[in-house]
Amino acid sequence: MKPVVAVVDAETSGNVGTIARAMKNFGFEDLYLVDPPDLHRDSEAYGFAGQAREDVLPNAEIVEFDYLVENFHTVGFTSITNEDARKHTRFPFRTPDELVTSLGDVETETCLVFGRERVGLVNEELERIDEVASIPASADYPSLNLGQAATVALYELQDLARDDTQLPDVSTQRADEAEIEALYEHFGAFLDDLDYPGEKKPKTLRMVRRILGRAHPTGREVNTLRGILRRAQRKADD
């Protein structure tokens, strides 16, 4: 079930537009706003929203925080703190990666809640949230800008919202095995043309096979590599 997104008391309309754009990028549709700034058509929100200005942003609903708590399983996003089980307003927390699994295993209306630019969600709000999430970051500076935090989180959670039929099928782009084997044979012939030491050839070819095996080259990449080998062979014959 696709989560909805809520932004609480954003101070700048530009960050609301940035979040709406990230929602559009990663397949999220429904945006709820608690105490939003002015979001008129000439505001930064529409300037930052990209194609989300056509649907996500104008369809956003303004609600009270109570509405989110009463109607959704809420996940509040916050910076990592030093809290532990003794002080658990912001602990324990899940990372966005962990949320993909935990939320993907249940059928529930979920709302991803992001807070203010300066202070995020305050403790009184977090106490009413069902679970807490945090984006791992440097201990020296763990706080992210509101728009950045939402973009990172929505990217990580896109499997809960995105229609995979809209994605390019990259699995079919790898060169077929006959093409790749022909490249290995061509490389072996190239080593022969170089008078490469015979005792080293098997190990070298095995290394090349391992490198290309990890790379999963496309047909175009295989053809380009073979073209380079042919050019080098012609130069060696001159």
pLDDT digits (tens, 9 = 90+) for 108-142: 789 999 988 888 888 888 888 888 888 888 878 87
Tell me: do 160 and 174 sit in the same domain: no
Q: Are 54 and 31 in contact (CB under 8 A)?
A: no
Last residue of a domain, one of 107, 137, 166: 166
Tell me: do 18 and 136 sit in the same domain: yes
Tell me: do 156 and 131 sit in the same domain: yes
Confidence of residue 172 (pLDDT cuts 50, 70, 90): low
Last residue of a domain, one of 124, 149, 166: 166
Total of domains in the chain: 2
Last residue of a domain, one of 125, 147, 166: 166
Tell me: do 138 and 206 sit in the same domain: no
Report the half-sphere exposure of 21 (CA within 13 A, side-chain side). Answer: 17
Q: What is the CATH number of the domain that holds 60?
A: 3.40.1280.10
First to last CA, the chain: 66
| Measured distance CA(20)–CA(204) in Å, rounded | 52
Q: What is the CATH number of the domain that holds 190?
A: 1.10.8.590
Tell me: do 20 and 8 sit in the same domain: yes
Tell me: do 162 and 233 sit in the same domain: no
| pLDDT, position 85 | 46
What is the tens place of the pLDDT at every residue in 206-222? Answer: 998 888 888 888 899 99
Residue 100 CA to its chain's centroid (Å): 12
What mean pLDDT is predicted for residues 183-203? Answer: 92
- Amino acid at the residue 4: V
Tell me: do 61 and 144 sit in the same domain: yes
Per the structure, the complete domain to which residue 194 belongs is given by: 170-237
Q: Which two tokens stand for residue 125?
A: 């709000």
Tell me: do 88 and 31 sit in the same domain: yes
Which residue, chain included where needed, has tokens 């429904």?
Answer: 30
Q: What one-character-per-residue DSSP string does 69-127 give?
A: HHHSEEEEE----S--TTS-SS-SEE-HHHHHHHHHTS---EEEEE-BTTTBS-HHHHT
Task: Write down the pTM of the prediction.
Answer: 0.73
